[in-house]
């Protein structure tokens, strides 16, 4: 792990209460051993939520909570060395109910973070999405970083992948015009225990049902093929890209040992949690937020070239996720 490279540095994480970003902060804080420590700034819209999520670090001298909307927060007094820009509404109901807000967060928020990076001379890691690849005509495809498929730009559901695409172009443009040190991580379907109440993604809904000892409810046949990655592996991948990624380039974050259909993911979780699976129909509002991409498999060879190796296949990741909740419950 590249903690030594970050020692004594100041690092801002936006969207800090999210699944991936909060796990990354856990990783950074657990890696904070001897001096000099990594100075971590956790930025989010809800200060109380941040304080609740990071109770273990809230009084640490090297940890700081910053509250503000990523689209307009004033960070003119902040000086940092690294920025991990993870703030983004990334769940289906947001895509169907507030597509304009999704685009604002991804575009204006990224612009704000790039300006901060430009002022500070900081390195920026932008968290993008495998959804930017769209749909491929190849039924056995695995997207590499220079592959791009079709996205229907007239569908409001495209608010997410299109604004992520545009945000990536912003990063490339700031790199070309101003010399900003920016690198991009394109994440596959990341799952893990730190889900929020507002998260309406399928994996989050499945997990809530299992934790309540209820059968998983599937609202589609679940035949879509996805690259899955456990959040702890995703967090270490981000650190590798942050430290060793080539400026101006993008890296897929995915686990070659965790390619499965949505139903296979649900079955793995159901078996580990001792529950069954039921089928139901989505509401019209829910259906509008669903991705129409039948296959979203990412090739992470470029990331693996940085010597990153994932530790959890799908079964191991699901097991660790459930154990994390059980440990947390036994402490409470």
pLDDT at 198: 65
Which of the pair, 292 or 149, is modelled with greater confidence?
149
**Distance, CA of 63 to CA of 40 (rounded, Å):** 5
Q: Is 230 helix (H, G, I), strand (E, B) or coil?
A: strand
On whether the CB atoms of residues 68 and 43 are closer than 8 A, the answer is: yes
Q: What is the CATH number of the domain that holds 22?
A: 3.40.50.720
| 275 falls within a domain | no
pLDDT at 148: 87
**Beta-bridge partners for 118:** none
**Beta-bridge partners for 216:** 277
- What is the average pLDDT value for the chain, to the nearest integer? 90
Q: Where are the beta strands (DSSP E) in 121-180?
A: 123-129
What long-range pairs does 199-202 form, CB within 8 A, spacing at least 24? 199/19, 199/91, 200/91, 200/92, 200/93, 200/94, 200/286, 200/289, 201/90, 201/91, 201/92, 202/262, 202/266
Q: Which of 107-111, 190-194, 283-287 has the highest mean pLDDT?
A: 107-111
Residue numbers of the domain that contains 148: 3-193+228-255+298-312
Q: Which of 44-53, 88-97, 99-108, 168-177 has the highest mean pLDDT?
A: 168-177
Whether omega for the bond prior to residue 188 falls within 30 degrees of 0, making it cis, is no
| 97 falls within a domain | yes
Q: What is the dihedral of CA 243, 246, 248, 253, to 10 degrees?
A: -70
| 210 falls within a domain | no
Under DSSP, the state recorded for 298 is B
Instruction: For residue range 211-234, list pLDDT tens digits in order.
Output: 888 999 887 888 889 999 999 999
| 91 falls within a domain | yes
Least confident of 24-28, 97-101, 138-142: 138-142
**Distance, CA of 214 to CA of 236 (rounded, Å):** 32
In the chain, the number of structural domains is 1
On whether the CB atoms of residues 286 and 96 are closer than 8 A, the answer is: yes
Structural tokens at position 59: 């009084």
**Which of 298, 217, 299 is closest to 262 using CA atoms?**
217
Which of the pair, 208 or 33, is modelled with greater confidence?
208
**Distance, CA of 168 to CA of 109 (rounded, Å):** 12
Least confident of 21-30, 110-119, 134-143, 308-317: 134-143
| 235 falls within a domain | yes
Residue 303 pLDDT exceeds 60: yes
Handedness of CA 193, 196, 197, 203 (dihedral sign): negative
| 93 falls within a domain | yes
On whether the CB atoms of residues 239 and 27 are closer than 8 A, the answer is: yes
Instruction: For residue range 102-151, list pLDDT tens digits in order.
Output: 999 999 999 999 999 999 999 999 999 999 999 876 767 899 999 988 89
Please report which helix (H) or strand (E) contains residue 226, including its range.
strand 225-230
On whether the CB atoms of residues 200 and 91 are closer than 8 A, the answer is: yes
**Which of 68, 25, 22 is closest to 45 using CA atoms?**
68
| 36 falls within a domain | yes
| 328 falls within a domain | no
Instruction: For residue range 68-81, list pLDDT tens digits in order.
Output: 999 889 999 999 99
Give CA 36 to chain center in angstroms.
28
On whether the CB atoms of residues 241 and 303 are closer than 8 A, the answer is: yes
């Amino acid at each position: 792990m590249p903690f030594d490279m970050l020692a004594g540095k100041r690092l801002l994480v936006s969207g800090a209460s999210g699944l991936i970003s909060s796990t990354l902060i856990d990783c950074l804080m657990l890696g904070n051993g001897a001096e000099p420590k990594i100075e971590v700034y956790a930025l989010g819209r809800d200060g109380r939520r941040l304080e609740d999520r990071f109770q273990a670090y809230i009084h640490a001298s090297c940890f700081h909570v910053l509250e503000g909307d990523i689209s307009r927060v004033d960070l003119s007094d902040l000086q940092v060395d690294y920025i991990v820009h993870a703030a983004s509404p990334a769940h289906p109901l947001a895509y169907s109910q507030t597509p304009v807000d999704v685009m604002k967060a991804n575009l204006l928020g990224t612009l704000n973070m790039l300006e901060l990076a430009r002022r500070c001379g900081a390195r920026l890691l932008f968290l993008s999405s495998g959804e930017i690849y769209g749909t491929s005509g190849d039924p056995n495809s695995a997207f590499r970083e220079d592959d791009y498929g079709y996205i229907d730009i007239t569908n409001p559901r495209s608010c997410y992948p299109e604004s992520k695409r545009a945000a990536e172009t912003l990063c490339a443009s700031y790199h070309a015009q101003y010399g900003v040190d920016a690198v991009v991580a394109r994440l596959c379907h990341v799952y893990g225990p730190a889900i929020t109440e507002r998260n309406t993604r399928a994996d989050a809904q499945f997990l809530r049902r299992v934790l309540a000892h209820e059968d998983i409810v599937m609202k589609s046949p679940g035949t879509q093929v996805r690259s899955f990655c456990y959040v702890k592996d995703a967090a270490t991948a981000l650190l590798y890209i942050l430290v060793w990624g080539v400026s101006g380039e993008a890296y897929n974050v995915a686990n070659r040992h965790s390619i499965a259909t949505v139903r296979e993911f649900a079955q793995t979780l159901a078996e580990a949690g001792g529950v069954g699976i039921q089928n139901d129909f989505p509401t019209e509002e829910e259906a509008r937020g669903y991705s129409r991409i039948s296959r979203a498999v990412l090739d992470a060879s470029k990331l693996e070239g940085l010597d990153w190796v994932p530790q959890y296949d799908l079964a191991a990741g699901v097991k660790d996720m459930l154990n994390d909740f059980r440990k947390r419950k036994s402490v409470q």
